[in-house]
Amino acid sequence: MPTALVTGASAGLGRALAAALVRRNWTVIGDARDADALASAAREDGFTAVPGDVTDPAHRAALAEACPSLDLLVNNASSLGVSPLPPLARYPLAALEDVYRVNVFAPLALTQLLLPALAGGVVMNVSSDAAVEAYEGWGGYGSAKAALDQLTAVLGAEHPDLSVYAIDPGDLRTAMHQRAFPGEDISDRPLPSSAVPAFLRLLDERPPSGRYRAADLLVTA
């Protein structure tokens, strides 16, 4: 039975993907900072909960101990940063450092730790269109995701035995997306589960390592 580790699995895209993998008879380990929400999701969806913060080295070590062999790592846990989204000229630098710790350094640190367990496996890093488009207010989150995209590209070049993907899931109806638009109605955005088939397609077909948009994968499926 293949094994996956999905970070940020208590809600949104991470939870939807973890549940889909369980339905495919995968063993899934999920993490999140909210221990109660993670435990509830794990009970309902059938995965193993390891609560904690991916920026914490001790928690990353616990995740590595929970999956000594691994077929799929999904670095989904993310931080939007300050809400409402501020312009870069007024972005609090301490908050920006935290965005980079969550969105760039933690995924790389976890990948470094798990590389020995991932021989021939798949790494999926959840990206954003804000990584490649210049949206006002998105300089903090977007630049962090751009850095994650570049890390993904280089890891793919350095580890040809792995399939390493940065995936832009598109706008989804999640709590984080709502924080980006406080007070606005985002009910027109699709549910996180709508993007899951794109991730599964990459997992099944294993195209070359690189950056992919869920919308493109879904259209051509």
Strand partners, 165: 124, 210
Residue 115, pLDDT score: 97
* pLDDT of residue 167 exceeding 90: yes
pLDDT tens readout for residues 127-166? 999 999 999 999 999 999 999 999 999 999 999 999 999 9
* Catalytic choice (91, 100, 135, 141): 141
CA distance 175 to 163: 29
pLDDT tens readout for residues 45-83? 999 999 999 999 999 999 999 999 999 999 999 999 999
Residue 186, pLDDT score: 73
Residue 171, pLDDT score: 84
Q: Please choose, from the candidates 175, 70, 83, 170, the residue with its C-alpha nearest in 3D space to the C-alpha of residue 126.
A: 170
Q: Please choose, from the candidates 186, 43, 67, the residue with its C-alpha nearest in 3D space to the C-alpha of residue 117.
A: 67
| Structure tokens given for 86 | 């501020």
More confidently predicted of 117 and 173: 117
Distance of CA 74 to the CA centre of its chain: 6
Cβ atoms of residues 122 and 72 within 8 Å: yes
Contacting residues for 205 by C-beta, under 8 A, at least 6 apart: none
**Residue 85 — left, alpha, or beta (φ > 0 → left; ψ -120 to 50 → alpha)?**
beta
> What is the pTM (predicted TM-score) of this model?
0.95
| Structure tokens given for 46 | 């059938």
Please spell the DSSP secondary structure of the chain, one letter per residue: --EEEEESTTSHHHHHHHHHHHHTT-EEEEE-S-HHHHHHHHHHHT-EE--S-TT-HHHHHHHHHH-SS-SEEEE------SSSPPPGGG--HHHHHHHHIIIIIHHHHHHHHHGGG-TT-EEEEE--GGGTS--TT-HHHHHHHHHHHHHHHHHHHH-TTSEEEEEE--S---HHHHHHSTTS--TTSPPGGGGHHHHHHHHHH---SEEEEHHHHHHH-
Residue 195, pLDDT score: 93
Residue 220, pLDDT score: 63
> pLDDT > 90: what percent of the chain?
86
* pLDDT of residue 108 exceeding 80: yes
Residue 139, pLDDT score: 95
Q: Please choose, from the candidates 174, 199, 190, the residue with its C-alpha nearest in 3D space to the C-alpha of residue 12.
A: 174
User: Domain coordinates of the chain in residue numbers?
Assistant: 3-220
CATH topology of domain 3-220: Rossmann fold (3.40.50)
Which residue shows structure tokens 């991470």? Answer: 14
Q: In this structure, how many other beta carbons lie within 10 angstroms of the beta carbon of residue 56?
A: 12
Strand partners, 3: 27
Residue 175, pLDDT score: 78
Q: Is 91 a catalytic residue?
A: no
More confidently predicted of 89 and 219: 89
Strand partners, 80: none
